[in-house]
Amino acid sequence: MMKKGKWLFFLMALVVFSIPLRAGAAEDFGTNRLYGTLPEEIRSLIPTDFFDSEAGSVLDTVNVGFFFRTVGTVLSAVLPGAFRNLAFVMGLLILSSVMKTLGSTVTSPAIQTVFSYISVVCVCGAVFRITGDLFSCMERFVGYLHQFITAIAPIMTALLYACGKVTTATVSGGMLTLILAFLESLCGGLLFPVLQITLAISVGSALCSTVDLSGMIAIISRILTFTMTFVSLLLTIVLAIQSVVAKSADELALKGVKFAVGGLVPIVGSAIGDALATITGGLNVVRSVTGMAGAVAVVIVMLFPILYLAVNRLFLELSSVAAGILMLDKESKFLQQMSGIVGFLMGASALVTAFFTVTLAVMACIGS
Amino acid sequence: MTVLKLCGIAVLGVAAILVVRSAKSEFAIPLSVVTGTILLTSALATVYPMVDFVKELSDVGSFTLYASTILKALGIGLLSQSAVDFCHDCGENAIASKLEFAAKAGILLLGLPIIRELLTLATEMMK
């Protein structure tokens, strides 16, 4: 009897000490590969061992100063490009204003109309090019985000399984993949095409003086706002319900397992139960660190396009005001509409960022 | 040439045309053309440094295509307006309206590369 007890104790110790308890045990779950999935522009902002660090190290790195420094670095990267765009548009507006002033000496109304048309065409062409660049920037970063989420989703799911949260792992892993696919379809299939159509209608409205399409643009804007609000609400409700239900199911299952182990295994059953709790506690730390690091990485990846869009939107608004002052009414209205479209792009970026951040945070914290 | 000199030339030109018209009316129109041409070329010469400045600005700001389009359109408009006014002065309204149409077409043609660029960008975005 004593010999059996000793063997059981020896086996228990072997099980406990064979599994690494440190939060830095990243190689088993592949968290050390996450850094490589980040885009080049972002890697300088995040330490190389960010996903492999221990909990204390992550807490030291991610503080208010870190976020302010990151925002400052990203702003210093986006401002030069945005200022160039502003100088480009302002230069054209001043030139158009001078043309309008000199052109007013032309008495022929037909030639004056054509002058106005050429001025609007030039401003539309320039702003369309800038807006096209903004679309490309956002598409690129959504692609980077897709790459990162595709890499972190199986890791978080595996960690949840290892922590004994089977239902949460299944639900959250599936949820993350579903949100990724849904938001990609929404952006690629609905949002971007509708915004591009709105852009084209704005250009057409600016060029055709006899047809006013601003009413149509207002309707499209309202539909887009409603769609994005509805999608946000829907995903929030689904995420909340599934997290609560999965958590309850896992807690019940874990209690059942502990009771069974404690009851069925003689003498050392409760000790094994406590050992399992210690092991899962260690894995929970790894899960929390990886999840929160992933959430921070998502915010940093999308910070670049959001700030770039925000600064360009501000400059388009300024240009619209300047055009109004220079008595270029059509150009002013067109710039105002472009600013609205860039605002929608910002909203979509923020929506995507918020959902992935919240989902990863939920996966990191649930049942801890 | 300063604005004062241009005003002097304009006033003297008008006075000369009135005198010539009463003596030999067939010389009034060529005199009117000469006076108008002197005034226009002097005005364009005054504007030339501004054109240079705009060119420098467009090279720095990378909007050369747009700046050159606007400047050429302005040039065509001002020149064609002078010619249309001359046609009206001679009583040739039909020629004047056709010249106006030609000027409109010329200015619209200048905008064609930009419209083409707009359509190309739009097509790329749709892809």
Instruction: DSSP for chain B, please give it.
Output: --HHHHHHHHHHHHHHHHHHHHH-GGGHHHHHHHHHHHHHHHHHHHHHHHHHHHHHHHHHHT-HHHHHHHHHHHHHHHHHHHHHHHHHHTT-HHHHHHHHHHHHHHHHHHTHHHHHHHHHHHHHHH-
Nearest partner of A308 among A139, A134, A144, A141, judged by Cα: A134
Please list the pLDDT of chain B residue by residue as tens digits (127 residues).
Answer: 578 888 888 888 888 888 888 888 788 888 888 888 888 888 777 777 777 777 776 676 667 778 888 888 888 888 888 888 888 888 888 998 899 889 889 988 888 888 888 788 777 776 6
* Least confidently predicted of A141-155, A226-240, A253-267, B62-76: A253-267
Domain segments of chain B as ranges = 1-46, 63-127
Q: How many CB atoms lie within 10 A of CB A114?
A: 25
Q: For residues A255 and A229, give the distance between their C-alpha atoms in angstroms, rounded to a whole number.
A: 39
Residue with token string 């010539």 = B20
Smallest CA–CA separation between B23 and chain A, in Å?
31
Question: Chain B contacts of A132, Cβ < 8 Å?
Answer: 121, 124-125
Are the CB atoms for A129 and B100 separated by under 8 Å?
Answer: no
pLDDT at A57: 66
* Least confidently predicted of A62-76, A170-184, B74-88: A170-184
CB contact under 8 A, B103 and A88: no
pLDDT in tens, A100-115: 887 777 777 878 888 8
pLDDT in tens, A317-344: 999 999 999 888 888 988 998 898 888 8
Domain segments of chain A as ranges = 55-365
Give me chain B's average pLDDT, please: 82
Q: For residues A110 and A6, give the distance between their C-alpha atoms in angstroms, rounded to a whole number.
A: 104
- Measured between CA atoms, the residue of chain A closest to residue B116 is A125
Nearest partner of A116 among A90, A131, A96, judged by Cα: A96
* Least confidently predicted of A134-143, A235-244, A317-326, B70-79: A235-244
Is pLDDT at A157 greater than 80 in this prediction? Answer: yes
Nearest partner of A359 among A184, A142, A177, A166, judged by Cα: A177
Nearest partner of A322 among A85, A86, A82, A81, judged by Cα: A86
Half-sphere exposure of A142 (CA within 13 A, CB side): 24
pLDDT at A21: 44
Q: What percent of chain A has pLDDT over 90?
A: 6
Is pLDDT at A75 greater than 60 in this prediction? Answer: yes
Q: What percent of chain A has pLDDT over 70?
A: 82
Q: How many CB atoms lie within 10 A of CB A353?
A: 22
Preferred mutation among B54, B112, B114, B126 to probe A, highest tally of A CBs within 10 A = B114
**Confidence bin at A56 (pLDDT 50/70/90):** low
B70 → closest Cβ in A96, A107, A199: A96
Residue with token string 């030109």 = B13
> What is the predicted ipTM?
0.75
Give me chain A's average pLDDT, please: 78
Q: How many CB atoms lie within 10 A of CB A76?
A: 9
Is pLDDT at A15 greater than 80 in this prediction? Answer: no
* 3-class DSSP assignment, residue A52: coil
**Confidence bin at A58 (pLDDT 50/70/90):** low
Question: Chain A contacts of B103, Cβ < 8 Å?
Answer: 108, 111, 114
